[in-house]
Amino acid sequence: MAIRVELDIFSGLPNPSWELSARDAAGFVTRARDGALPIREPGDVDGVLGYRGFDIRLTGEQAVAFRRDGLPTRFRLAGTAGGRASLEVERYLVDLAELSRTAAPHVAQSAADRIEETAADDCGCDRPSAETGQSQMNGVASSDAGAVAADVCTFYLTSSTDYTFWNAAAYQPYNNCYNFASNWRTNTFAQPGRGSGTMFSQLTVTDIKAAAARDGWVYSCSANNSLVAALVIWPGTDYHWYRRTVNLSSATCWSHKPGATAAKHTDNSGRQITAPSTCNRGNYTTYGGFMYVPQSAATRIR
């Protein structure tokens, strides 16, 4: 019998998750039965980089009780649509995540900050403006000339308008940004280096790129390369990959799949991504440049 809570915040790595204590679970169940939880479908999520709400799953007697009351046994809480009642519960769950050390303090704080921004937006209050990836380039030039020079690379499954292959219910929750950038749907939430036997050990550009290279990715473009990918990092916390694509008018853009959310071609500001180096990436402030993905590398991704 359990209520499992997942803090939906990462893109490359698995999200922090934990089980509620008996006391916390009892209070949670009471809120749900009283209609005090604005329950949303699990897939009803704004796929931004960073905090996206909580994924709640019930098992055992709790699940039986929920079903008896006509309530779902898996649902999402996110104040972007749930309003004040949801925000109150989200604040409480973020505190639990930090107190239980399930999430690192700065990760919990990032979630808390986003919740308060949503609360301020909801009431029309003033709030501090958050910095974005556009203003935190860490000295990296805001040009994707390397990808432009990589035009000799071919593009496999290039569409940035039809993501059915990735966003079907049977696949979307189980594939992340590394799967998407590799164009290899493993349903394992793939990690750089795991398929070749040695994962990355540090969340740095050098280490993650080296792990991807062990999986078969390469540092230079040739006619045998099928994909162009760009790496960004939330320093010391998580990584994220973009993939170069084309839209129906044949214009170049970039697409990505933030964690278990849907693949898309817009950034945290809802704008089409024309360059990963300058788009709104939220906390993913370190820009790591390009790698290239031969189709032969796909079978090593795990």
Question: Per residue in 262-288, pLDDT tens?
Answer: 999 999 999 999 899 999 999 999 999
Rounded CA separation 172/259 (Å): 9
Residue with tokens 């505190």: 95
Q: Which residue has the tokens 């290279």?
A: 213
**Residue 262 or 125, more confident:** 262
Q: Could you tell me the pTM of the whole model?
A: 0.87
The Cα–Cα gap between 220 and 53 comes to 38
Most confident of 23-37, 67-81, 92-106: 92-106
pLDDT at 245: 82
Torsion of CA 180, 181, 182, 187, to 10 degrees: -20
- In 10 A of CB 260, how many CB atoms? 23
Give 264-270's long-range contacts (Cβ < 8 A, gap of 24+). Answer: 264/47, 264/163, 265/160, 265/161, 268/48, 268/49, 268/50, 268/132, 268/133, 269/132
pLDDT tens-place string over residues 48-94: 999 999 999 999 888 888 888 888 999 998 866 556 777 888 998 99
Residue 152, pLDDT score: 56
Q: Residue 62: what residue type? A: Q
Encode pLDDT of 174-188 as tens digits: 999 999 999 899 999
